[in-house]
Structure 1
Amino acid sequence: MRRSKASQKAFSFAVLTAMACLPIAVVGRAAPAAPAAIGNNWYAAAPYLMPQSNSPPDPVAVMSATGLKAFQLAFILAPNGGGCSPTWDGTSAVSSDTVVAGVVSKIRAAGGDVSVSVGGYGGTKLGQTCGDAASTAAAYQQVITKYQLKAIDFDLEEPEYENEAAIANELGAAKILQANNPGLFISVTMPGTAAGTGWFGTLLLDKAKSIGFTPNNFSIMPFDGGFNGASSQVSALENFHGLLMSHMGWDSATAYAHEGFSGMNGKSDISEYFYQSDFETVLNYATGHGLGRFTFWSVNRDRPCGSSTDNGICSNVTQNAWDFTKYSVRFAGATPPVDAGPPPPTDAGGGGTCTAPAWVSSTAYNGGAVVSYNGHKWTAKWWTQNDVPGGPAGVWTDNGPCTS
């Protein structure tokens, strides 16, 4: 997914130095506990979590606060020094891992489970370094066996995404794993564009069809590409639906059932903004059309910013902790618990229900116009149209939570 993952994934800052202090690290466990019995609906809804970097939260605390039952742990890469063996972030060998294994055991002890994502935006992928599909599959089988996985995600991005041989290795490996691990839930994630996906994405679909590989879903990432809120994301998903029909030979219902959304909460790497209302709109589209997956990058970012506005550890939009994760819970078919915690800091006090008219993207507003958006009242500084309150244009003054 992601240039959003890009800036954070590629650097994996403070992985080793912080590891001993992380609340989710459990040292001394070579293998995780047996996986919990959960349905594929939870793997289809699992949001991404980096367990070793980006200030990882306690996953059990997230589960307790939201009702979530599965996480998408990221990322498995080739070793930084080269080779065809799986590592976490290119640095920690899966074969000797105890840290992530401890995280997995902790999640499972709380009644949840994990999927593991291979690839991502940064680092070198196993499809680039392994000699063929069989050796690539053997490397990933080590991960499946080590963590007793029931689900895996192939996050296929640049530069591997543009490498025909590497994509052949990844998709060929996915097909082998599917055959050798009956029931394994497999998602394939790729960049999104306004057209659904780009040229290399259509080649990826063609390759999958040519080798007879059908994953549980193909997911696009409609962000970091000039997207402007939910309407542009829904349009991209609808266009991708058409590509799945034309390139995979599916009817409409089958295409929707094998389509997925992988979004980004809050501020993207190129300063697009996606708010709770955007997630609500896309969730309604996904459930209304029977999409096969709804996920986002990332749980590490699903919290309000405090003294730091580091885009890898907070969303840079007004929110309570885990607001966006609750949309994943709803996609899985569960009802999140009510958040009784305090609201995030705002510029003005107060609370209540907005009576100001809701902001409408197509409406032209003059300076001084007052609207409501995401539970806050906003005043236009000057004439504006299609500038989201709180967005990068800085057009709107946040008057704080609605009091009337």
Structure 2
Amino acid sequence: MGIVLVVALSAGGYLGLQWWGSAQAADAYDPWFAGYVDVTATPTYNFEATADRAGSDVVLAFIVAATDDPCTPTWGTHYTLDEAADELDLDRRLARVKQLDGQVVVSFGGQLNTELGTGCTDQDALVAAYAAVLDRYDVTTIDLDLEGDNLTDTAATERRAAAIAKLQADRRAAGIDLAVWLTVPVATSGLTEDGTNAVSAMLDAQVDLAGVNLMTMDFGSSKHADETMAEASIRAVTAAHRQVGALYSQAGTELLAGTVWSKIGITPMAGQNDVAGEVFGLDDATALNAFAVEQKVGRMSLWSLNRDTTCGTNYVELTRVSDSCSGINQGGDKFVDLLDGGFTGRPVTAAAAVTTDESESVEAIVDDPATSPYPIWAKDSSFLKGTKVVWHRNVYQAKWWTSGDLPDNPVLNDWETPWVLIGPVMAGETPIPQPTLPAGTYPEWAGTAVYEKGDVTLFDGVPFKSKWWNQGESPDAAASNPDGSPWVALTKAEVQKILDALPD
């Protein structure tokens, strides 16, 4: 965390912000908030001293490989577990957290050092190294923060996945919960290829991922100049939601949209990000929290609790990122308070969740024309750019001409599908009526009449314009076959213009 991620990806293929609520809520939803604490940063952050709900659950960062023995876990290479107990009084401080009813998650990796799975090539020793940390701190949720070489090393990715799979299986067999979160960078277009590879490797190794935590920070060139950090983050999270669902589908597990949302975590960086022009402010925190609560995101975090305060007067260069302050004037506000709202669950409770295939539930979704605002997608129909359809109780819009392409086909990149998800079919919706004109405004359609290009006729009061010469072609087919039909319905604006021109 806290690195520059300049991603040379264009977000041009992604059409707008997708602010929708999930049509299918996860059966078990227990969202939690916990801010990261950089354990070895100076000055030391006293995470054990807070009784504040928003700061009582913490993600301690980072466990990494020792420089002289890659299979020995250390805190930031500075302290072994025993040394941290002696020199940081870490064990006692964690005991105090538990006295205050706080809960602890341990994060492995980060950007600066070597994650255990990258450095330790002995599979048994690697499993033992992870287990030593879990046993020492009695945690049931871990966070694998993969950045830089820790993310791009293919051999390490497979080795880590195998070790975590064994660790989780052994613990569950012994009746011990172990939730595994994979924390990865994102661009505004979603997960990078290395990120999707990391998720795939975990799923292929049969790791039951609690979720994918997205570092919504340091977007670099993928962020639009006029976007707020909240808007850029929402674009990134929305794209990643589609990707995570597709990765599960490719791994043979079908999940409802709501379940996928519950497997999404969001971690912004308080205040000044590593990219000079990117500042995640208090308004961004409020907007991102509202989005996350509406979508029923499973986890919210913050990098970091160390930084959740206004810098002192002696800190002059605010665009230079500090370990101990945000670089912005926070007044009396805290990022943890703004991001925590609505996240009422706890890590320990959520750790008991087990992922199950939901393909039967997906197949059971039936679209009813009487309760659908737009026509229901059909395999044999063609759809022009801009056409909206309903499929599996969601509304999609065509980005270009398409025929036979499933709207919810699991794809990793938005440019691979002609459809963009607009949002769910809302309760109580019915077909959106087409605008009509009074009888006599234009001739009623007749099957025997000949129509030239540009002729207008009324069909059940709805005005249609002829795209080419035709006879006996009913306008009724225009909605189901807009490409092949010679008729196109007049738009609402065109109809209103005609109505305005009619005499009173």
Structure 1-normalised TM-score?
Answer: 0.69
Identify the match of residue 119 of structure 1 among 109, 113, 132.
109
CA distance in 2, matches of 1:66, 1:204: 33
Where does residue 156 of structure 1 map in the other structure? 146
Where does residue 238 of structure 1 map in the other structure? 238
**Superposed displacement of residue 185, structure 1:** 2.5
Residue segments in structure 2 that go unaligned for 5+ positions in a row: 6-28, 250-254, 346-504
**Superposed displacement of residue 125, structure 1:** 1.5
2:206 matches 1:212: yes
2:286 matches 1:260: no
Matches within 5 A, 1:240-389: 240-249=240-249, 250-271=255-276, 272-306=278-312, 307-308=314-315, 309=318, 311-320=322-331, 323-333=334-344
SS of aligned partner of 2:301: strand
Identify the match of residue 34 of structure 2 among 31, 35, 46.
46
**Superposed displacement of residue 116, structure 1:** 0.8
SS of aligned partner of 1:260: strand
SS of aligned partner of 2:39: coil
Kindly indicate whether the alpha-carbon contact (under 8 Å) linking 1:80 and 1:123 is maintained by their aligned counterparts in 2. Answer: no
Identify the match of residue 55 of structure 2 among 68, 80, 90.
68
CA distance in 1, matches of 2:114, 2:264: 26
Task: Answer with 1 or 2: which has the greater Rg.
Answer: 2
TM-aligned CA distance change 1:3 to 1:264, over 3 Å? same
**Superposed displacement of residue 149, structure 1:** 1.2
How many residues end up aligned between the 2 structures?
299
Identify the match of residue 221 of structure 1 among 206, 215, 220.
215
Where does residue 361 of structure 1 map in the other structure? none
**Superposed displacement of residue 54, structure 1:** 3.3
SS of aligned partner of 2:157: helix
Kindly indicate whether the alpha-carbon contact (under 8 Å) linking 1:191 and 1:197 is maintained by their aligned counterparts in 2. Answer: yes
Kindly indicate whether the alpha-carbon contact (under 8 Å) linking 1:71 and 1:114 is maintained by their aligned counterparts in 2. Answer: yes
SS of aligned partner of 1:55: coil
**Superposed displacement of residue 197, structure 1:** 1.1
Kindly indicate whether the alpha-carbon contact (under 8 Å) linking 2:41 and 2:323 is maintained by their aligned counterparts in 1. Answer: no
Structure 2-normalised TM-score?
Answer: 0.56
RMSD after superposition:
2.3
**Superposed displacement of residue 258, structure 1:** 0.8
CA distance in 2, matches of 1:105, 1:294: 24
CA distance in 1, matches of 2:83, 2:47: 22
Where does residue 55 of structure 1 map in the other structure? 43
TM-aligned CA distance change 1:281 to 1:328, over 3 Å? closer
Identify the match of residue 83 of structure 1 among 57, 70, 74.
70
CA distance in 1, matches of 2:207, 2:289: 27
**Superposed displacement of residue 283, structure 1:** 1.1
Residue segments in structure 1 that go unaligned for 5+ positions in a row: 6-39, 335-404
